Amino acid sequence: MIRPLDQRAGGYRVYEITSIDDLDLRTFLPMVDRAWQLDYADQPRLDIDEAFLRKLARGPWWVGVLAVDGDGSPVGFELALERTLRVGDRALRAYYASVFTVSADHRRQGLGRWILECINRLVFEEREADVILSTFHQGHAGSPVVQSTFDRIPGWGVARFHDSAIWSRRLDQDPLPASQPSPSFVQLEMAGDRPESGLRAGGDDRAVPDAGTIDDLLRGEFETSFALSDSLSAQYLDRDNEASGLLLYELGSGRIGLAGFNVVPMVRNEKRLRPIGQLQLLAAPGSTGAQIEAVVRHVGRFLAARGCFAMTLLDMGVVPRSALDNLGFVASETLITFAARGPKSTIEAFAGLRPPFFLDFT
């Protein structure tokens, strides 16, 4: 079901969408592909295909806007995923904005700002969000449009609170050697359709902590983190979602660690590549640098076994730089900027944030 949100001269219209099935994928996916190919010419980039979109748009925990021209052809898009964000003692209703796209043939007409304004309406006014989170890839499209949009709203703004290179390592040409001994691990999954129904070890009958214990670990390890909400659990703990997961490690002396991963489709220009594996979360309280390095090494081998040709991570203050060097990770020349946007009274809390973080940016 789609709902009209706004229209403007030239026949342009914007709609709210509530299902990926609301999109005509035969015209929508080529529009997105061409736009992102223009922005990432000759560079590896996300392959935003149907499976990727359906993974993001799970359950009721997202909103999306679609812009079309006078002929009804898609010309722009953005979606936002609901998250519970903890910043110190505060719990904020947050949305992570992603897949911001303006058609290559319809740029410099204010469509990007219009799409952002409509997402703001859905997220802030209708869903009563406190803040939108996003990332900006420095030197690429998106950031100036977001900044100018929020600069135009009295009392609102954008807080850029952390920068990171993309740390990457090839897994196919130079496989990571196994740690000795290999860490004991299981993949966690929900026993039902919500974390409150309990957690279990996928393919194993061993006992695992409950969702509350896992969430307490995240709360204790990170001053700034996403909580283990229904929306986050649907991505990382759904046994039917093979593209994301949460690994639980036994690190000795009663200590446990967590590693969250995403397997992401990639493309360069028009050539489809093998996927990459993203390490999105690493929490190993009380562990040594060597133990953290062993977990990263294991996650890399886990991702390689799932067909990933490379592994990437953003520096969120958990993996020591020495471990990245020892494991052969290389930093990109460009940076990823973490940004919060919304009322200045809310985003001022982000000005003094320091790592470590757990923020799931796909």
- Whether residue 343 lies inside any domain: the answer is no
Tell me the percentage of the chain whose pLDDT exceeds 90.
83
Mean pLDDT for the stretch of residues 282-297 = 93
Local structure of 25: helix, strand or coil: helix
- Whether residue 248 lies inside any domain: the answer is yes
Task: Report the half-sphere exposure of 4 (CA within 13 A, side-chain side).
Answer: 7
Domain end point (choices 124, 144, 166): 166
pTM of the predicted model as reported, rounded to 2 decimal places? 0.94
Q: CA-CA distance, 179 to 68, in Å (whole number)?
A: 52
Q: According to the model, what pLDDT value does residue 91 have?
A: 96
Q: Are residues 190 and 51 in the same domain?
A: no
Q: Rounded to 5 degrees, what are φ and ψ at 361?
A: -110, 115
Q: According to the model, what pLDDT value does residue 334 have?
A: 93
Q: Are residues 70 and 190 in the same domain?
A: no
Q: Are residues 156 and 178 in the same domain?
A: no
**142 pLDDT higher than 80:** no
- Whether residue 345 lies inside any domain: the answer is no
**197 pLDDT higher than 90:** no
- Whether residue 350 lies inside any domain: the answer is no
Q: Are residues 33 and 66 in the same domain?
A: yes
Q: According to the model, what pLDDT value does residue 32 have?
A: 97
Token pair belonging to 257: 């660690």
Mean pLDDT for the stretch of residues 171-183 = 88
Q: Are residues 179 and 151 in the same domain?
A: no
Q: Are residues 31 and 114 in the same domain?
A: yes
- Whether residue 221 lies inside any domain: the answer is yes
Domain end point (choices 137, 166, 195): 166
Beta strand 131-137 with 90-102 is: parallel
Q: Kindly report which listed range (57-71, 170-184, 222-236) carries the lowest average pLDDT score.
A: 170-184
Q: Are residues 137 and 223 in the same domain?
A: no
Q: CA-CA distance, 138 to 340, in Å (whole number)?
A: 15
Q: Are residues 194 and 80 in the same domain?
A: no
Q: According to the model, what pLDDT value does residue 181 have?
A: 81
Q: According to the model, what pLDDT value does residue 140 have?
A: 76
> What CATH code is carried by the domain that includes residue 129?
3.40.630.30
Angle, helix 111-120 to helix 143-151, in steps of 10 degrees: 60
Q: Are residues 217 and 305 in the same domain?
A: yes
**183 pLDDT higher than 90:** no
Q: Are residues 220 and 136 in the same domain?
A: no
- Whether residue 264 lies inside any domain: the answer is yes
- Whether residue 351 lies inside any domain: the answer is no
**Span 304-318, pLDDT tens digits:** 999 999 999 999 999
Supply the range of the domain harboring residue 122. Answer: 2-166
- Whether residue 263 lies inside any domain: the answer is yes
- pLDDT category at 143 given cuts 50, 70, 90 is confident
Burial class of 241 by CB neighbour count within 10 A (0 to 12, 13 to 18, 19+):
middle
Q: Are residues 108 and 185 in the same domain?
A: no
Q: According to the model, what pLDDT value does residue 294 have?
A: 93
**Span 225-249, pLDDT tens digits:** 999 999 999 999 999 899 999 999 9
Q: CA-CA distance, 123 to 132, in Å (whole number)?
A: 8
**Span 1-21, pLDDT tens digits:** 689 999 998 899 999 999 999
Closest C-alpha to 356, from 313, 314, 317: 317
**Span 6-59, pLDDT tens digits:** 999 889 999 999 999 999 999 999 999 999 999 999 999 999 999 999 999 988
Our count of domains for the chain comes to 2
Q: According to the model, what pLDDT value does residue 11 have?
A: 94
Q: Are residues 121 and 252 in the same domain?
A: no
**123 pLDDT higher than 80:** yes
> In whole numbers, what is the pLDDT of the chain averaged over residues?
94
Q: According to the model, what pLDDT value does residue 193 have?
A: 84
